[in-house]
Homo-oligomer: A and B are copies of this chain.
Amino acid sequence: MVRFVGVENMVRWVRSIGVEQIVADMVDYLEADFTRWDQFDKTPRVASHSPYGVIELMPTSDRQTYSFKYVNGHPINTKIGRQTVTAFGVLADVASGYPLFLSEMTLLTALRTAATSVMAAKLLAPPNASVLSLIGTGAQAEFQALGFRSVLGMLTLRVFDTDPQAVQKLRTNIEPLGFDIVDAATVEDAIAGAHVITTCTADKTKATILRDDMVASSVHINAIGGDCPGKTELDAALLMRSNIFAEYLPQTRIEGELQQLDPKWPATELWEVLTGASPGRTSGDQITIFDSVGFAIEDFSALRYLSDSVADTDFFETIDLIAEPSDPKNLFGLLD
């Protein structure tokens, strides 16, 4: 039998542990896995593009455990009341090839994306960062806010979205949790005084959410929304005067902000900073950019943490996904 965490169990589990504790724990799992980077099989995700959006499979393996995630990206979905991103994922045993664990990953991806942002900001944000700017207050926004508060103690949010209802939704959801939320009328206003800027917008176009002249210095930009070919958020000139960090460059150069620059433009993979092989932020006035596109090892870490966390609980059920004939050569015998 395969363990299965569906949406209802996922919601119960998140309520039980709390978003802030989950992001903090997940950062530990991410750091542990990114630190042993060379143990993983790494491959760019396998994407099936259509005029409506993209469906992707994201596999990886540390040679003991295999994982993959199914995830779609359909920005037009929100116009018909559906989500841009839905996902589910699987852990399997490399030695036998048998799947072990299946989970919804729409919520889990939101948590792991926030945790990955926080892991990068721990390495790259200016010291004593306290003001977080959120450009785009869609489905990811609350997870960012809670994650940054949990691990980096950031309490002040300056927020902007072209949809005022999305801003109001954020305020309703998390102001009661003790945040100081500043509504900004423009992107310029939203980033004024911010130490970390998260851009998380959904349009599948080459947008310029942050123009080069808007951004002064001494800031870390957590660029989440540019994550597939033809979908970017930052001015190329801004990229060129910043220090750029990424998850896995062969994928980011195709899908991230880096698609705008020469394929040899210098950039650093996060694991190099974690292991000390490369420096992170080297001066206070630097602009650092985490060109985040989402990578399979993050889903591996998130599933590994979830699987460990629910092991001795009732936050999962079992499903008969895999046939188990008593004689493996007698599959037909199952039909008797």
Q: Which residues of A contact B (CB under 8 A)?
A: 4, 6-8, 10-11, 14-15, 19, 41, 43, 46, 48, 50, 52-55, 57, 59, 61, 63, 66, 68, 70, 72-74, 77-78, 81-84, 86, 88, 90, 92, 94-99, 102, 104, 106-107, 110, 137-143, 163, 166, 169, 173-174, 319-336
Contacts and interface: CB of A to CB of B under 8 A. Distances in A.
> Secondary structure of the A side of the interface?
mixed
Nearest to A68: B57
Most buried by B among A77, A141, A323, A326: A323
Contact of A50 (B14, B94, B110): B94
Contacts of A66: 48, 55
9 A-B pairs with the lowest CB-CB distances in the bound complex, closest first:
A72-B97, A142-B332, A6-B320, A139-B331, A106-B323, A7-B320, A83-B328, A74-B97, A138-B329
Nearest to A98: B86
A331 B83 contact: yes
Nearest to A48: B61
Contact of A81 (B77, B81, B99, B328): B328
A157 to B, nearest CB: 14
Contact of A53 (B8, B97, B141): B97
26 contacts: A4-B319, A7-B320, A7-B321, A7-B324, A7-B334, A11-B334, A15-B335, A43-B46, A48-B61, A50-B63, A50-B94, A52-B97, A53-B97, A54-B97, A55-B97, A68-B70, A70-B90, A78-B329, A81-B327, A82-B98, A104-B323, A106-B323, A110-B331, A137-B329, A166-B329, A169-B330
Contacts of A11: 334-335
A107 B323 contact: yes
Given A72-B92, A169-B327, 9 more contacts: A7-B324, A8-B320, A48-B59, A70-B99, A81-B328, A83-B323, A86-B98, A169-B330, A173-B330
Contacts of A173: 330, 332-333, 336
Contact of A169 (B41, B102, B320, B329): B329
